Amino acid sequence: MGFKIESSLLDACALAILSRGDTYGYEITQQMKSAIDISESTLYPVLRRLQKEGLCRTYDQPHQGRNRRYYRITDKGQEKLAEYRKQWDDYKSAIEMLLDGDGKYALVMEGGEKK
């Protein structure tokens, strides 16, 4: 995709994935890759930031002789995700009106006047 991905959108996507159940970093990256171009080196700072802000927490669980770090969304994270979803709906609607030329926000220039 040719659009710049802001950190708040990455936060929202990571929280959305975590809202579906606890999972580990590699799996989060794979799910995000289905929609946006992201690497694990980009994702882990996002997860650390979410954890620092109390939006998710971690726990380790043995897997094939090693510990795997799992991420779990917190109640505060669920609240933030609800805010992100509302902001996304508003943003998406406004951009669609501009790009599609439909709705009350579309302006048509004709003879120097706004219609």
Is residue 20 pLDDT above 60, yes or no?
A: yes
Handedness of CA 44, 32, 58, 9 (dihedral sign): positive
**CATH 1.10.10.10 is right for the domain spanning 7-114:** yes
The torsion angle over the Cα atoms of residues 33, 35, 36 and 37, rounded to 10 degrees, is 40
Q: What are phi and psi of 107, to 5 degrees?
A: -110, 135
pLDDT of residue 100: 85
pLDDT of residue 104: 56
pLDDT of residue 110: 39
Is residue 84 pLDDT above 80, yes or no?
A: yes
- Closest to 10 measured CA to CA, from 43, 35, 52: 43
Mean pLDDT for 4-30 is 94
Residues shown for the chain: 115
- Closest to 72 measured CA to CA, from 25, 31, 3, 113: 25
pTM over 0.75: yes
Crossing angle between the packed helical segments 25-33 and 7-19, to the nearest 10 degrees:
110
How does pLDDT run across 46-73, given as a tens digit for each residue? 999 999 999 999 999 999 999 999 999 9
Is residue 115 pLDDT above 60, yes or no?
A: no
